[in-house]
Amino acid sequence: MLAIYYNYGNIENMSKSIIEVKKNPNENNNSVLRRFSRKIQESSIIQKVKGSRYNERKESKLKIKRGALKKIGRRKEIDKLRKLGKMR
């Protein structure tokens, strides 16, 4: 029996896929493997995994605000240095 158990998705939306293929008495290993790989392709597990491979979480609002404040602070410092003639 060939089986694949796979969890994909984020924690809130966890999905489980179970694919099982049992060997028939007169069936050889190559045909069982072929049926198994065909079932995996039909279930589109691989596409879902590849699609969610590079997903990143959104940045928190607090982190965005801190970054904006840091940028404003740097801009003020550069303007100050330009006025003093220490920077072009």
46 close to 40: Cβ distance less than 8 angstroms: yes
Q: Strand runs (DSSP E) across 1-88, as ranges?
A: 2-8, 15-21
The alpha carbons of the chain give a radius of gyration, in whole angstroms, of 27
pLDDT (tens digit per residue) in 37-72: 888 888 887 887 787 778 778 899 999 999 999 999
The pTM is what? 0.45
Closest by Cα among 40, 51, 47, 57 to 4: 40
Residue with tokens 């392709």: 41
pLDDT (tens digit per residue) in 2-46: 665 555 554 444 456 678 888 888 989 898 889 888 888 888 878
The DSSP 8-state label assigned to residue 54 in this structure reads T
